Amino acid sequence: MDQQHEADSMQLHQDTDLRARVILDVGMRLPHQFSRNNRTFPASTAFQSQVLVRDLLKLGLFCMNIPSMAGLQDSDGNVPVSFSRIPESLLGIGVRYAICVSAEPGEGDPVIEIDDLERHVQRIEAHFGLIDIDMGLVARVAQCAREASLTPEMSAQGA
């Protein structure tokens, strides 16, 4: 049983890593900038903020109606489908959508105000209930962003 638990743990870690890298890759490929306290950051820096990653995931999943789908039962009608079963492709699409709809129009690259995004997500949750996400995944995205900012070729891909 211990070997099975270890294999399951390793699979979950690999899945989380893949999901985190997909989310970061989507964010870094878009031309958007992120702003907080009158400072503007590229995605490679901004995605180091767990608050930003959390809110982009929540908004994207809410807009795609994923929270209600994640609460549905599995094909046998027994166990609720968890956040960890949402494919990385849907997470990437959700984050991309959240980034695109959150940007303020203007000249140059679109800019997302991080604090405005956070307030918007708080309003949604106040009206519709909490949007459950995996904070371990959020932390892994932020860690991948830190690693990418230290690797020049990774940062260049996002620019």
Q: Is the dihedral of CA 81, 26, 8, 134 positive or negative?
A: negative
Check residue 70 and give its pLDDT. Answer: 54
- Half-sphere CA count of 34, side-chain side, radius 13 A: 23
Check residue 79 and give its pLDDT. Answer: 47
Express each pLDDT in 9-34 by its tens digit.
Answer: 445 446 889 999 999 999 999 999 99
Check residue 24 and give its pLDDT. Answer: 95
CB 131, CB 70: distance < 8 Å:
no
* Residues in Cβ contact with 144 at an 8 Å cutoff, skipping those fewer than 6 apart: 17, 20, 21, 24, 47
pLDDT of 81 over the 60 cut: no
* Pairing mode, strands 39-42 and 111-113: unpaired
Express each pLDDT in 83-141 by its tens digit.
Answer: 677 888 889 999 999 999 998 777 778 999 999 999 999 999 999 888 888 899 999 99
Check residue 68 and give its pLDDT. Answer: 62
Torsion, CA 23, CA 115, CA 130, CA 42, rounded to 10: 0
Q: What CA–CA distance (Å, rounded) separates 92 from 57?
A: 9
CB 139, CB 16: distance < 8 Å:
no
Residue 123 dihedral angles phi and psi, to the nearest 5°? -65, -45
